[in-house]
């Protein structure tokens, strides 16, 4: 399996459990690793034979911007489902960063891998 990755894809969202978080959008950063095969694209040198990461990044961005979840875990699971279902990705590693969530840390986040190893 090959991996296509996207690093530090950013979008703003309402996310959090505190009153102040429910009124001000916060920046979310997403790192993705997507399991796929690049063999056909490499053989044919044709964009139609590879993963459309621009289309995926626009979908992820739109989902984040429209969301209003309380937990980053919920946002991460929703993103994973969309990516796997809509883009036919058999395996992914998704890291979601909530930037500036703690005053003494750059970010906090969650990392999920789907499907889970057996």
Average pLDDT estimate for 43-47: 90
CA distance 32 to 18: 27
**Is the per-residue pLDDT at 118 higher than 80?**
no
Q: Residue 83 belongs to a domain with what CATH number? A: 3.30.1130.10
Q: What distance in Å separates the CA atoms of residue 34 and residue 114, rounded to the nearest whole number?
A: 10
Looking at the 3D structure of the chain, how many domains does it have?
A: 1
93 has catalytic annotation: no
Cβ count within 10 A of residue 13: 19
The residue range of the domain holding 101 is 2-114
Both structure tokens of 3? 């991996």
Choosing from 43, 58, 93, 98, the catalytic residue is 98
pLDDT greater than 70 at residue 27? yes
Buried b (16+ CB within 10 A) or exposed e, 71-98: ebeebbbebbebbbeebebeebbbbbbb
Encode pLDDT of 58-94 as tens digits: 999 999 999 999 999 999 999 999 999 999 999 999 9
């Amino acid at each position: 399996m090959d991996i296509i990755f996207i690093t530090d894809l950013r979008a703003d969202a309402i996310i959090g459990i505190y009153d102040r978080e429910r009124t001000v959008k916060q920046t979310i950063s997403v790192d993705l690793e997507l399991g796929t095969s690049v063999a056909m694209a490499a053989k044919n040198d044709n964009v139609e034979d590879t993963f459309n990461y621009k289309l995926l990044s626009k979908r992820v961005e739109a989902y984040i911007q429209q969301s209003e979840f309380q937990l980053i875990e919920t946002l991460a699971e929703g993103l994973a489902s969309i990516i796997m279902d809509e883009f036919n990705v058999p395996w992914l590693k998704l890291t979601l960063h909530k930037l500036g969530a703690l005053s003494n840390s750059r970010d906090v986040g969650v990392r999920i891998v789907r499907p889970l190893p057996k």
